[in-house]
Amino acid sequence: MTVQQAASLPLVRRDTIRIALLLVATMVATVPIFSVESLPLHDYPSHLARMYVLLQDGHNETLNRYYEVHWALMPNLAMDLIVPPLARLLGSVELAGRLFVAATMVLLATGAMFLHAAVHRRVSTWPLLAVVLLYNGILWFGFLNFLFALGLFLWSLGIFVRTQDWPVAARAALYAALCLVLFVAHLFGFCLFLIAVAGWSFGRMWVRELNFTGVVREGMTVLPGALLCLALFLFATPTSSVASETSWGDLLRPWHYIVKLQSVLFMVNFNDPMTNAALLLVASLVLLGFIADWIRFDLRLLPVLALFSLCFAFMPMMVSSSWFAYHRMPIVLGFVAVASIDWTGRAPRRALTAIVFLFVAVRAESVAAQWRGIDADFAPIRAELRTLPKGIRVTAALAAPRKIEVPALLHMPSYAVLDADGFYPGVFSFPGQQPLNFTPDYADLGGHIGSRSIMHRFPLDHDALGPRNLDPMAPALLQRFDVLLTYLDEYLAPLPPGLVLLRESGPWKLYRLR
């Protein structure tokens, strides 16, 4: 062993410990995912129901009455391409779904660490702060394809930074592959990558690592992949023609900007008891760090953050038929900001790292306890669903009164698809966004929890709407269902007569309609 090799051993050992610390913290953060039967993440049950239908591959005659699978190239397929094959391998779609959620969290945390190491050229414990951001408002919403693509984006940007000295042809081929993977996972991930590459290149010009010609040369390495994905989007996917609604009118409404400022809290807001503590921890570490000269900022990532901030400022609520578009940007800014900062030599790194790690562990247990309580209420309902005849048709009425903190339960009725091969109108089947459609006999009922679903016919906000009678069309629609699942139905308008209570558990009630 040479003297140089011997000197490098402590550094390698420290790097290994730091990487292991981040991985252990991330594993701790994923514990709640495996502590309950039914994950209370808003959109997740609907996505999981779609995975279950895709897994059957047209061989389940009961499901075939309600759902049709139509595969096409769409920029929103991360979960659809990974979970069904994984479920087939494991023999459980629910386990495969949980592993996908856990993998998404691992991608986000390790992606932030890899990007940080690529930018700062060293392994640090600072990205442990990214684990605190794993419980965020977008995960609470259950936007898993987006979050998975965000994790891929962080890795992709780190790869772009680390391969600056590669031959141009090799870089162009690599970046084209990265663009394609991001595009298929989720359109947002692809767009974030292009914006970040531009910002990083201008950041390097700002610190005089590149001139303008160099910036253009950097852009040319990504251009083939960008043009390939643009051509696919315009000519090979149904998304550009079907899922093309963007609510630009939002930008003319003053309330839009008020709500947008509130959405900044989505960076740490998981609607759990420790959300405020997470906000205080992140804000304190950053503010105190800069004041005490414990942390430093890499200016090359400043243009990236500036471009993402501009996107956030001018992004409407809906982009390409995807709701809550601008709500997604704060968490993007959060992870990139973590990657842009590092400790200075003056920082009490071990003490602060220990505080962050302890907070992650405590919050994970807090989330798990909250979820176990929700799961205890819903588990008897799922048990009852499993006893019902296969092919049961389920509708739901869920109240969300302002004075009660309602968990992320909007799509929990979708578990009827897994438990009873059932029909539920809230299963996601948006044209151009998912490879699942309802059959013609049920297309007028299904699709989403809006105009084509029966669920909207019940007041979702009792305080805002007040008690009122059901929509006159509801009785005719109810005749096409077998059971009704309600949540907090004491806050709903009077339910139809003749209901037979099958099971009550906590705020949930399951009724037979006929």
Per the rule left: phi > 0, alpha: psi between -120 and 50, beta: everything else, 498 is left
pLDDT value at residue 243: 66
pLDDT grade, residue 365 (50/70/90)?
very high
Q: CA-to-CA distance for 61 and 491, rounded, in angstroms?
A: 38
Q: CA-to-CA distance for 469 and 118, rounded, in angstroms?
A: 60
- In this prediction, residues 506-511 reach a mean pLDDT of 95
Strand order through the sheet with 394-398: 394-398, 483-487, 508-512, 500-505
pLDDT value at residue 2: 52
pLDDT value at residue 447: 52
Instruction: Select from 510, 513, 385, 393 the least CA-distant residue to 446.
Output: 393
Q: CA-to-CA distance for 208 and 202, rounded, in angstroms?
A: 10
In this predicted structure, the answer to whether residue 318 has a pLDDT above a threshold of 70 is yes
In this predicted structure, the answer to whether residue 6 has a pLDDT above a threshold of 50 is no
What does pLDDT average to over the chain? 90
Is-contact 395 484, C-beta < 8 A? yes
In this predicted structure, the answer to whether residue 466 has a pLDDT above a threshold of 50 is no
For the chain, helix (H) and strand (E) counts, in that order, are: 20, 8
Q: How much is the pTM?
A: 0.94
Q: How many CB atoms lie within 10 A of CB 392?
A: 20
pLDDT value at residue 323: 84
Neighbouring residues of 3: CB distance < 8 A, sequence distance ≥ 6: none
pLDDT value at residue 12: 78
Bridge partners, 509 (sequence order):
486, 504
Q: How many CB atoms lie within 10 A of CB 55?
A: 20
Q: CA-to-CA distance for 77 and 185, rounded, in angstroms?
A: 5
Q: How many CB atoms lie within 10 A of CB 219?
A: 14
Chain segment 39-57, per-residue pLDDT in tens: 999 999 999 999 999 999 9
Instruction: Select from 172, 157, 170, 171 the least CA-distant residue to 203.
Output: 157
Chain segment 408-461, per-residue pLDDT in tens: 888 999 999 999 999 998 898 887 889 999 999 888 877 544 333 344 333 333
DSSP string, 60-120: -HHHHTTEEE-----S--HHHHHHHHHHHHHT-HHHHHHHHHHHHHHHHHHHHHHHHHHHH
Is-contact 74 118, C-beta < 8 A? no
Tokens standing for residue 93: 């779609």
Is-contact 41 408, C-beta < 8 A? yes
Chain segment 280-308, per-residue pLDDT in tens: 999 999 999 999 999 999 999 999 999 99
pLDDT value at residue 298: 97
Largest CA distance in the chain: 85
Helix crossing, 212-235 with 168-185: angle to 10°?
40
Higher pLDDT, 158 or 465: 158
Q: CA-to-CA distance for 190 and 38, rounded, in angstroms?
A: 31
Q: With b meaning 16 or more CB within 10 Å and e meaning fewer, what string describes 86-125? A: bbeeeeebbebbbbbbbbbbbbbbbbbbbbbbbbbeebbb
Q: CA-to-CA distance for 453 and 445, rounded, in angstroms?
A: 5
Q: How many CB atoms lie within 10 A of CB 214?
A: 14
Chain segment 389-403, per-residue pLDDT in tens: 999 999 888 877 777
